[in-house]
Amino acid sequence: MKRLLDFSACLLLLLLLWPVFLIVAAAIRLESRGPAIFRQVRVGKNGREFTCYKFRTMFTGTGDVPTHQVAASAVTPLGDYLRRFKIDELPQIFNVLSGDMSLVGPRPCLPSQRELVEARRRLGVLDVRPGITGLAQVRGVDMSNADRLAELDARYVRSQSFSGDLGLLWATMRGQGVGVDQVLRT
């Protein structure tokens, strides 16, 4: 049932939002050099790595590190806006359509975040597809505290339900967790 909802909703979103994709991509390309789509290897279900897609919000050449380790000066002015309103996450619709992600679930982390990967493995979090949004995002918890995040992700896995996922989607659309950006402010 969850996969059917994911696929159907993302297909509908793609049909409705393709003009937004084009406008955002063009704006990114006009603002700074580099591709409009950012590709990054992330850890998915069962610990399998996959390529995650996002709109590029940082200057080309920024290191491949977790957001909480990136200086705010690496974020483009447009990127700051895209991140604040989570527009940068829209290309992950393609990850959901391909089956690498779900609309709701624990956010996928980088393979280099070994402490988080191991905590998630230990708590059974890697048994589910990662999501575009989830309990931790709605509650404003980022990836800087691996144990706290893994515990919250495990709580989601233990209690996930269709109605719970709809509630998290609704909370995300209402703006809960929006504006939480953990780049280093100097």
| 97-150 confidence digits (pLDDT tens) | 999 999 999 999 999 999 999 999 999 999 999 999 999 988 888 777 889 999
H or E stretch at 52: strand 49-55
pLDDT (0 to 100) of residue 183? 53
The residues pairing with 43 across neighbouring beta strands, listed in sequence order, are 49, 109
pLDDT (0 to 100) of residue 164? 94
Distances (CA, A) of 34 to 31, 60, 118, 156: 10, 6, 33, 36
pLDDT (0 to 100) of residue 179? 46
Domain ranges of the chain: 2-173
Q: How far apart are CA 63 and CA 48, in angstroms?
A: 22
| 46-98 confidence digits (pLDDT tens) | 999 999 999 999 988 776 766 767 777 889 999 999 988 889 999 999 999 99
Residue with tokens 């590190």: 65
pLDDT (0 to 100) of residue 140? 85
pTM, 2 dp: 0.89
| 29-42 confidence digits (pLDDT tens) | 999 999 999 999 99
Closest CA to 92 of 185, 10, 33, 174: 10
Terminal CA-to-CA distance of the chain, rounded, Å?
A: 45
